[in-house]
């Protein structure tokens, strides 16, 4: 069907043109209004109360403008809570199925000190958006501030399900509100591996070491190895002096089927796991020496530790090669290893040293490694383990050290290799 319009008179033509202009103007006005409201109510754009007052006066029927004005009013230094409530309620009445408006009204009610009314508004928001994590999170906080811990816990769990970043703060809140109840903080933590590891790290900081170890052990091993939180848990335990628990958890992750030994990886035949060298060999370069693993030279197995000295004056070694080893307090131990040298020139060679992890005090040291070129030969030291620390654990650092006797001595040059470390109780 084709509609035909005939405009035979000037008046009819003018009327039609006027109608077109009116319709086009109306459409343009609607577009401009929607654009203006959309811009002013975009929370990514900072606007203050004064900017919103005129548009809100012209368009009092906009729920979005009313909600934004209520929110802006709350953050003014001379805020008028009664006015904020007026606009928040208007937003709710104009758009009763938008849960965001109830969140705004809840903010106003809490600012007025009426937490129960804030709770009611958040419960209405929850009924409209039961799967929105932000609604659950805010409701949990309001419930907690009213002392309603039991009601808050499931809301925290649902509110944190999609956002682990808030978990640390929530754990602290619930821990204080529950007076250190482990089951309470467990109840708000999802089964997600990173969430569980964050919980374990939190429990370490609260000195709940056994609980932390239990949580940590239940996380899938592959997830533990991949998550940075695992490193934080082990490091936190070491910082707290619980070397025993730290090594137990560390051992459950790295090469779990490998035979355990007092000194781990004594033949250097296994690669050190990235981020998990806490109880393996730790290497660091310095201006005096460059340690590395040598696959072409070994005493036993296939590899050894190679230390190249760079020929710098007054050569010092302190921490370039070390491993933390657990010991029993008061027990005498013997450490042995095999050494090879090539073109090694030094005023006095480095020594194998056992030092207290807590105090740094040297407990025993070997004879200096002799200079020149020599084939594999054994060096050893004996020491008595120190007393346990305040946490009941005891550990030593086994390391290669060189401490010059004078403020200056000649450069140390050449290369040494070390292999087949072992440690046992001395008889």
Ranges of each domain in the chain: 191-253, 282-425
Token pair in block for residue 414: 């050449």
Q: Residue 37: its pLDDT value, please? A: 43
Mean pLDDT confidence for 266-281: 90
Residue 301 DSSP symbol: S
pLDDT higher than threshold 70 for residue 45: no
Within 10 angstroms of residue 374's Cβ, the number of other Cβ atoms is: 14
Query: What is the model's pTM?
Result: 0.72
pLDDT higher than threshold 60 for residue 173: yes
Looking at per-residue confidence, does 67 or 270 come out higher?
Answer: 270
Instruction: Tell me the C-alpha distance between 356 and 396, whole Å.
Output: 5
Q: What mean pLDDT is reported for the chain? A: 86
HSE (CB half, 13 Å, CA atoms) of 272? Answer: 20
Instruction: Tell me the C-alpha distance between 41 and 52, whole Å.
Output: 9
Could you report the per-residue pLDDT of 310-351, keeping only the tens digit for each?
999 899 999 899 999 999 999 999 999 999 999 999 999 999
Burial of residue 136 (CB within 10 Å: 0-12, 13-18, 19+) is buried
Contact yes or no for 285/272 (Cβ under 8 A): no
Q: Residue 129: its pLDDT value, please? A: 93
- Could you tell me whether strands 282-283 and 317-326 are parallel, antiparallel, or unpaired per DSSP bridges? antiparallel
Mean pLDDT confidence for 148-157: 95
- Of 273, 241, 265, 253, residue with least CA distance to 322: 265
Mean pLDDT confidence for 207-231: 91
Size (the chain), residues: 427
Instruction: Tell me the C-alpha distance between 259 and 273, whole Å.
Output: 16
Could you report the per-residue pLDDT of 383-394, keeping only the tens digit for each?
999 999 988 999
Q: Residue 165: its pLDDT value, please? A: 78
pLDDT higher than threshold 60 for residue 34: no
Write out the CATH class of domain 282-425.
mainly beta
Mean pLDDT confidence for 158-185: 90
Burial of residue 18 (CB within 10 Å: 0-12, 13-18, 19+) is exposed
Token pair in block for residue 320: 């370039």
Looking at per-residue confidence, does 359 or 50 come out higher?
Answer: 359
Burial of residue 68 (CB within 10 Å: 0-12, 13-18, 19+) is buried
Please name the residue ranges forming H helices in 112-189. Answer: 115-128, 133-145, 149-160, 167-177, 182-187
Instruction: Tell me the C-alpha distance between 134 and 158, whole Å.
Output: 9
pLDDT over 90, % of the chain:
61
- In this prediction, residue 67 has a pLDDT band, given cuts at 50, 70 and 90, of confident
Lowest mean pLDDT among 51-55, 74-78, 294-298, 412-416: 51-55
Mean pLDDT confidence for 137-150: 95
pLDDT higher than threshold 50 for residue 30: no
Burial of residue 372 (CB within 10 Å: 0-12, 13-18, 19+) is exposed
- In this prediction, residue 12 has a pLDDT band, given cuts at 50, 70 and 90, of low
Q: Residue 371: its pLDDT value, please? A: 87
pLDDT over 70, % of the chain:
84
């Amino acid at each position: 069907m084709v509609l035909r319009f005939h405009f035979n008179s000037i008046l009819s033509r003018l009327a039609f043109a006027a109608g077109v202009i009116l319709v086009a103007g109306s459409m343009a006005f609607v577009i401009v209004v929607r654009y203006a409201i959309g811009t002013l109510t975009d929370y990514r754009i900072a606007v203050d109360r004064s900017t919103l007052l005129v548009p809100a006066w012209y368009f009092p029927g906009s729920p979005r403008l009313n909600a934004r004005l209520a929110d802006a009013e709350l953050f003014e230094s001379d805020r008028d809570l009664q006015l904020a409530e007026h606009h928040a309620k208007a937003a709710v009445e104009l758009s009763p199925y938008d849960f965001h408006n109830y969140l705004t009204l809840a903010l106003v009610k809490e600012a007025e000190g009426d937490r129960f009314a804030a709770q009611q508004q958040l419960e209405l928001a929850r009924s409209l958006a039961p799967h929105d994590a932000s609604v659950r999170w805010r409701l949990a906080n309001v419930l907690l501030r009213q002392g309603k811990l039991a009601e808050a816990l499931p809301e925290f769990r649902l509110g944190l399900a999609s956002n682990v970043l808030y978990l640390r703060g929530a754990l602290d809140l619930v821990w204080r509100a529950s007076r250190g109840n482990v089951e309470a903080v467990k109840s708000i933590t999802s089964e997600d591996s990173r969430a569980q590891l964050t919980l374990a790290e939190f429990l370490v900081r609260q000195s709940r070491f056994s609980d932390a170890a239990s949580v940590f052990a239940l996380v899938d091993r592959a997830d533990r190895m991949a998550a940075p939180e695992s490193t934080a848990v082990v490091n936190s335990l070491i910082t707290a002096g619980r070397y025993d628990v730290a090594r137990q958890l560390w051992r459950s992750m790295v090469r779990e089927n490998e035979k355990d030994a007092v000194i781990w990886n004594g033949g250097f035949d296994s690669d050190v796991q990235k981020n998990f060298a806490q109880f393996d060999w730790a290497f660091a370069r310095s201006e005096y020496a460059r340690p590395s693993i040598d696959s072409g030279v070994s005493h036993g197995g296939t590899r050894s530790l190679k230390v190249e000295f760079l020929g710098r004056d007054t050569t010092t070694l302190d921490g370039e090669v070390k491993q933390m080893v657990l010991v029993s307090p008061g027990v005498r131990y013997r450490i042995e290893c095999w050494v090879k040298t090539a073109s090694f020139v030094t005023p006095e060679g480095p020594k194998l040293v056992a030092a207290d992890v807590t105090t740094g005090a040297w407990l025993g040291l070997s004879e200096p490694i002799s200079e020149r070129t020599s084939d594999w030969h054994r060096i050893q030291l004996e020491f008595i383990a120190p007393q346990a620390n305040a946490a009941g654990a005891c550990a030593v650092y086994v390391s290669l050290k060189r401490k010059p006797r004078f403020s200056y001595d000649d450069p140390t040059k050449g290369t040494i290799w070390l292999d087949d470390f072992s440690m046992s109780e001395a008889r």
